């Protein structure tokens, strides 16, 4: 028997970037603090590379964001990258949605302006220039992603 369900749609476009961030667990049962790299961002959250897995629903603080800001989030997904257990792609959902990433001229469906803390700085995040077939981007669907510098 085939079950038909409506195709899931994204709330907003994901943007591939390389933004260094500091991630700190706010749960004493799951201590974690590390310098990480956000690889894909949206106003609802991000996916970052980490050296260790984090349990789902773990509250985290994302700090050292562009412009010096910080934002709180929760772990929404955690995927191993490769088979050696040395690298993970952790997806987090921001508690307060917005362009905390300092993306200049964000996609129209973000429905937000550049975050005020980052608007005062001239430092724009580094936009990824890797091939979409390269790791870890080949883990993502090509639907609903934006690539700065491409028209």
Number of domains within the chain: 1
> How far is the C-alpha of 116 from the C-alpha of 126, rounded, in Å?
19
In a domain, 129, yes or no: yes
Contact yes or no for 95/74 (Cβ under 8 A): yes
In a domain, 95, yes or no: yes
- Predicted pLDDT at 139: 53
In a domain, 100, yes or no: yes
What's the average model confidence in pLDDT over 39-59? 94
What tokens were used for 11?
């709330």
- Predicted pLDDT at 147: 53
Handedness of CA 129, 90, 96, 68 (dihedral sign): negative
Residues 72-105 have pLDDT tens digits of 999 999 999 888 878 999 999 999 999 999 988 8
In a domain, 5, yes or no: no
Hey, is 87 helix, strand or coil?
coil
In a domain, 74, yes or no: yes
In a domain, 102, yes or no: yes
Residues 97-149 have pLDDT tens digits of 999 999 888 888 887 655 454 444 445 555 554 455 554 555 555 555 555 55
In a domain, 51, yes or no: yes
Residues 31-48 have pLDDT tens digits of 999 999 999 999 999 999
In a domain, 8, yes or no: no
CATH classification of the domain holding 39? 2.40.10
pTM of the complete model: 0.70
- Residue 96: which domain range? 14-141
Hey, is 97 helix, strand or coil?
coil
């Amino acid at each position: 028997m085939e079950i038909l369900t409506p195709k899931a749609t994204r709330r907003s476009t994901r943007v591939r970037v390389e933004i260094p961030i500091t991630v700190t667990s706010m749960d004493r049962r799951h201590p974690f603090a590390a310098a990480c790299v956000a690889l894909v961002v949206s106003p609802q959250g991000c996916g970052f590379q980490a050296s260790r897995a984090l349990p789902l629903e773990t509250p985290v603080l994302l700090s050292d964001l562009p412009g010096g800001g910080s934002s709180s989030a929760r772990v929404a997904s955690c995927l191993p990258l490769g088979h050696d257990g040395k690298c993970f792609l952790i997806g987090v959902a921001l508690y307060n949605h917005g362009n905390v990433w300092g993306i200049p001229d964000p996609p129209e469906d973000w429905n937000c302006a550049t975050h005020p803390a980052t608007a005062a700085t001239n430092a724009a995040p580094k936009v990824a220039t890797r091939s979409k077939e390269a790791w870890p981007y080949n883990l993502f669907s090509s639907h609903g992603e934006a690539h700065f510098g491409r028209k």
